[in-house]
Structure formats: structure tokens, C-alpha cells
């Protein structure tokens, strides 16, 4: 009797049942995972890897070291303070001749120019004459342009020759790296990025606040009205949600511009004289209004679904126990809507912080956000490394919020419409 108790339970084919069960469970896990794996691979190849690769440019820049290999080699041993020797100048001339031939001198000059502004023409003009230069190259170069004797030019080249650099991150945070590797603050007039980041956070915060102020009452109304009416009113929230952002931004231009609908109404009502119309757009105000309008449904929908689940009997119970309307709302109803506020606010903030289109179209000068700067460096100034560094800063903020969202709300609870 005791034998059968201790012996492992055996499945029909003689193997222990425990092992069979473990195998079966493993199979089922594998099955589930195999269903997800095509999508994971797809995202890895076309989303995660491209972004990772791009962002790595924020600290990895091999342009100078690839195009100017000889100079980079001699600069690696240079201490950054002593006078450059003939060997340095010889290497530089060799590289200048080569980059001129391969037509990459422009890129190299732009790269060094980022370290020392105004040095671009020094490279392009000298490269044109470099092929005819003869030793000693130090004298030949200084004769062509006396700037070549300046130590700052060499320090800039040394900074550019670093393949792995923190220079772009320093720049993204309004600092710069000196030749000796130390990091100092940028001069006052060049500190723009931190201000921009603060403005971006500020605009996002204001938009979130306005969305909450406008979204809470209508979510409450929608959740408490009878279904038939609330479904009809819901269309007023969902139609904007489904309408193209471009359409809504265009609509706000028509509404807010100086000859627009709203100003016409103001003039008609006598709020303002015809010649002093309000400037409501192409500034920060325009960005705030249009973004609040565009993001409002993101606040209303989660709030609504939370409020819909709050039993009306709680408030009634509070009132029957003598609470005033305000106490019943503030002490009993409002605390139960906090999860909805959290979900909506984080969602709106996350979407707002990366906003690009609306600020670009209606933001004017002071309504621009960090995304607009990233885009500027991607498509106009072509400083992709700085774009990557700024992008990393933005992404870190967003991912932190995403993590908070997962903690507070849970990603599985995300709902649409």
C-alpha cells in the first residue's frame, strides 16, 4: 500500500505524469509564443532596431575618423595643448587631398564647424590648394591660412575625431566638451535646448490640465445621462477623435486667424475694434488651443469608462447620511475617478510631449516644441547626431511616463473608443 503512495504517478506510456504535464505546459507556452513571434520579429526589424541604431548616433560619430584617417591617427596621440608638429600637418594635407578627391570635404568641414563655428571655409578653401602643397607642410598651410597655426582649430579636429563622444549629449543639455575632455556650460546666448525642453514640458502640462478641466465635466455628464442621450453626445467626442489631425489644425486656422471666424464674432459683438483683432494663432496660444482640442478625446474616453463603472448608489448613500452635494462629490465620487484621471492625464501628456504637426503649423515662434527641433536637425541642418541626442532625451522622458502608466493603469487596460 505504502509503495503505491510513494511511487510517482505514471502516465499511460510509462513516463511520470509530472514530466508529461510539464512537457505539455511547455508545448502550450511555446505555441502561444510562436503566435506572437512573427510580430515581435517584425517590430524588432522595422521598429526597435532602426530606432536603436539611429539613437546610437547620439554618442557614435565616425565621420571624421573615417574620412580623415591619417589626421585622426596622429591626433589620437596628441595631448591637445602642445604645438602640433610637422607630422600632424603632413597627415592633415594627405587627408585634405583625399577628401577633396572623394568630394567628402564638405561633410568633414561641416563636422568640424560644429566644434568651432566659422571654421568651415578654412577647410574647404585649403583643400582646394592642398594638392599643390609641398613639404614642409606646416609652413605651407600656415602660409595659405594663418588660422592653421591656431591651437583651437586642432582642438576642434581632435574633438571631431572621437568616434565615441558625449559631445552631442552635452550639446543637447546646453553644455559643451572642451579639448581636454571636460564638460562646461554653453555661453548664455547658446543655451536653447534646456529652455526648449522646459517649454515642451510646460506646454504638455498645460494641455493636460486644460484637457482635464474640459474633459471631466463632459465625461461626468456622459456617464450619468441615460444611454440613449449619452450615445448621441458621444458622437460629438468621437467625431473629432476620428477626424484627421490635419483637418482639425486647418479648422483651427480658419477659426483663430485674424480674419477668422472667432475674431469676426468678437468684432461683431463689439469685444474688440476691427483694427485691433486678437492674435490667437501662430503663437503659443494657438498651439495650446489646437492641441487641447485634438487631445481632449484621449482624456474623455478613459474618464468616461471609469465613471461608467462607479455605482450611483455610493453618492446616494453619502447624501442619505447627511453629506451635502459637494461633500458627496468631493469625498465619495471624485476619489473613485482618480484611476481615470491618471490614465487620461498620462496618456494626454505622453502624446502631447512628442507633438509635432500642430506646433509646426500653428505654433509660430514661441509655440515650437522639442519634436520640431529634432525634425529641424533631421531635415534642415542635417545634424543627425544632435537630433539623435535630443531624441534620446525626449524618449527617456516618454518611456519613464510609459512605465508610470503601466504601474498606475496597466497596459492591458488601455482601451480605444
Partner 1 sequence: MSGLPSYAGFGERVWYYTFRAICAVIFLFLITPILVVIPLSFNVEPYFSFTPGMLSLKAEAFSTRWYLDILQNGMANPDATTGWWADAWNNSQWVRSMRNSFYIGVLSTLVSTALGTLAAVGLSRSEMPYKNAIMATLISPMIVPLVITAAGSFYAFSQFNLAYTYTGLILAHAVLGIPFVIITVTATLVGFDQSLVRAAQSMGASPVRTFFKVQMPLILPGVISGALFAFITSFDEVVVVIQMAAAEQRTIPRQMFSGIREQISPTILAVATVLVVISIALLATLELLRRRSERLRGLSAS
Q: Which of residues 308-347 bind partner 1 (CB under 8 A)?
A: 325
3-state class of 312 per DSSP? coil
Q: Is residue 34 part of the contact set for partner 1 (CB under 8 A)?
A: yes
Give whichever of 23 and 128 is closer to partner 1, judged by the CB atom: 23
CB of 38 to partner 1, least distance (A): 6
Please report how close the Cβ of residue 152 comes to partner 1 at its closest, in angstroms: 31
- Which of these ranges, 31-39, 97-105, 119-127, 162-170, lies near partner 1 under the rule CB under 8 A? 31-39
Q: Please check whether residue 363 is in contact with residue 380, taking contact to mean a CB–CB distance below 8 angstroms.
A: no
Q: Give 78 or 304: the residue with its C-beta nearer to partner 1.
A: 304
The smaller minimum CB distance to partner 1, of residues 199 and 248, is found at 248
Q: Give the other-Cβ count within 10 Å of 200's Cβ.
A: 23
Q: In whole angstroms, what is the distance from residue 369 CA to residue 18 CA? A: 59
By CB atoms closer than 10 A (0-12, 13-18, 19+), residue 415 is exposed
State the cell numbers at 67. 574620412
Is 14 a binding residue for partner 1 by CB under 8 A? The answer is no
Residue 90 or 223 with smaller CB distance to partner 1: 223
Closest approach of partner 1 to the CB of residue 375, in Å: 6
Count of residues that interact with partner 1, criterion CB under 8 A: 90
Q: Which residues contact 382 (CB under 8 A, 6 or more apart)?
A: 110
CA distance 236 to 217: 14
Told to check if 275 binds partner 1 by CB under 8 A, we report no
Strand partners, 16: 10
97 binds partner 1 (CB under 8 A): no
* Cβ closest to partner 1, residue 236 vs residue 334: 236
Using an 8 Å Cβ cutoff, are 141 and 89 in contact? yes
Residues 6+ apart with CB under 8 A from 392: 55, 58, 169, 172
For the CB of residue 411, give the shortest distance to partner 1 in the complex, in Å. Answer: 5
List 90, 109, 159, 296, residue binding partner 1 (CB under 8 A): 296
Query: Which residues in 356-395 contact partner 1 (CB under 8 A)?
Result: 356-357, 361, 371, 374-375, 378-379, 384, 387-388, 391, 394-395
End-to-end CA distance of the chain: 63
The yes or no reply on residue 293 touching partner 1 (CB under 8 A) is yes
CB closer to partner 1, 117 vs 400: 400
Q: Which is nearer to partner 1, 235 or 338 (CB)?
A: 235
Stretch that binds partner 1, among 1-9, 12-20, 38-46, 189-197 (CB under 8 A): 38-46
Among 42, 164, 314, 330, binds partner 1 (CB under 8 A): 42
Q: Which of residues 202-261 bind partner 1 (CB under 8 A)?
A: 214, 217-218, 220-221, 224-226, 229, 233, 235-240, 242-255, 257, 259-261
Name residues contacting partner 1, limited to 153-212 (CB under 8 A): none
Task: Report if residue 129 touches partner 1, rule: CB under 8 A.
Answer: no
CA gap 30, 293 in Å, rounded: 45
* 47 near partner 1, judged by CB under 8 A: yes
Of 135 and 382, the one with the shorter C-beta distance to partner 1 is: 382
For residue 330, what is the enclosing H or E element?
Answer: none
User: Of the candidates 18, 23, 29, 331, which one interacts with partner 1 according to CB under 8 A?
Assistant: 29
Displacement of CA 394 from its chain's centroid (Å): 4
Least separation in angstroms between CB 308 and partner 1: 13
DSSP state of 189: G
In the set 141, 280, 343, 350, which binds partner 1 (CB under 8 A)?
350
Cell numbers standing for residue 404: 508610470
Q: Burial-class residue 41 by CB neighbours within 10 Å (0-12, 13-18, 19+).
A: exposed
DSSP state, residue 412 = G
> DSSP labels for 11-76?
-TTSSBHHHHHHHHHHHHHHHHHHHHHHHHHHHIIIIIHHHHHHHHTTTB--HHHHH-HHHHHHHH
CB of 239 to partner 1, least distance (A): 6
The position carrying cell 532596431 is: 49
Please report how close the Cβ of residue 45 comes to partner 1 at its closest, in angstroms.
Answer: 9
Amino acid at each position: 500500500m505504502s509503495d503505491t503512495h510513494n511511487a510517482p504517478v505514471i502516465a499511460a506510456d510509462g513516463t511520470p505524469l509530472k514530466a508529461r504535464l510539464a512537457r505539455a505546459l511547455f508545448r502550450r507556452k511555446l505555441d502561444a509564443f510562436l503566435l506572437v513571434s512573427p510580430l515581435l520579429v517584425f517590430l524588432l526589424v522595422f521598429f526597435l532596431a532602426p530606432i536603436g541604431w539611429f539613437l546610437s548616433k547620439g554618442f557614435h560619430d565616425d565621420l571624421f575618423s573615417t574620412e580623415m584617417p591619417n589626421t585622426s591617427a596622429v591626433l589620437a596621440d596628441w595631448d591637445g595643448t602642445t604645438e602640433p608638429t610637422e607630422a600632424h600637418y603632413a597627415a592633415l594635407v594627405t587627408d585634405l587631398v583625399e577628401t577633396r578627391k572623394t568630394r567628402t570635404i564638405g561633410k568633414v568641414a561641416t563636422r568640424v564647424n560644429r566644434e568651432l563655428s566659422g571654421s568651415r571655409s578654412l577647410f574647404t578653401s585649403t583643400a582646394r590648394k592642398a594638392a599643390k602643397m609641398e613639404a614642409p607642410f606646416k609652413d605651407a598651410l600656415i602660409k595659405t591660412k594663418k588660422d592653421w597655426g591656431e591651437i583651437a582649430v586642432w582642438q576642434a579636429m581632435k574633438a571631431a575625431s572621437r568616434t565615441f563622444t558625449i559631445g552631442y549629449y552635452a550639446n543637447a543639455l546646453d553644455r559643451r566638451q572642451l579639448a581636454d575632455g571636460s564638460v562646461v556650460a554653453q555661453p548664455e546666448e547658446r543655451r536653447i535646448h534646456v529652455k526648449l525642453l522646459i517649454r515642451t514640458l510646460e506646454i504638455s502640462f498645460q494641455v493636460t490640465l486644460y484637457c482635464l478641466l474640459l474633459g471631466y465635466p463632459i465625461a461626468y455628464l456622459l456617464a450619468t445621462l441615460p444611454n440613449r442621450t449619452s450615445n448621441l453626445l458621444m458622437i460629438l467626442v468621437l467625431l473629432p477623435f476620428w477626424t484627421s489631425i490635419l483637418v482639425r489644425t486647418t479648422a483651427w486656422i480658419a477659426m483663430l486667424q485674424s480674419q477668422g471666424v472667432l475674431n469676426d464674432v468678437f468684432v461683431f459683438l463689439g469685444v474688440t475694434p476691427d483694427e485691433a483683432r486678437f492674435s490667437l494663432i501662430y503663437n503659443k496660444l494657438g498651439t495650446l488651443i489646437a492641441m487641447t482640442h485634438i487631445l481632449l478625446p484621449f482624456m474623455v474616453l478613459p474618464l468616461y469608462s471609469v465613471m461608467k463603472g462607479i455605482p450611483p448608489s455610493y453618492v446616494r448613500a453619502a447624501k442619505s447620511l447627511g453629506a451635502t452635494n459637494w461633500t458627496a462629490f468631493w469625498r465619495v465620487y471624485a476619489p473613485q475617478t482618480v484611476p481615470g484621471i491618471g490614465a487620461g492625464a498620462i496618456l494626454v501628456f505622453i502624446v502631447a510631449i512628442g507633438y509635432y504637426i500642430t506646433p509646426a503649423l500653428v505654433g509660430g515662434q514661441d509655440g515650437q516644441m522639442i519634436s520640431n527641433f529634432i525634425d529641424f536637425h533631421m531635415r534642415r541642418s542635417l545634424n543627425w547626431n544632435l537630433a539623435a541626442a535630443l531624441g534620446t532625451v525626449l524618449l527617456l522622458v516618454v518611456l519613464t511616463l510609459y512605465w508610470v502608466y503601466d504601474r498606475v493603469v496597466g497596459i492591458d487596460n488601455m482601451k480605444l473608443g
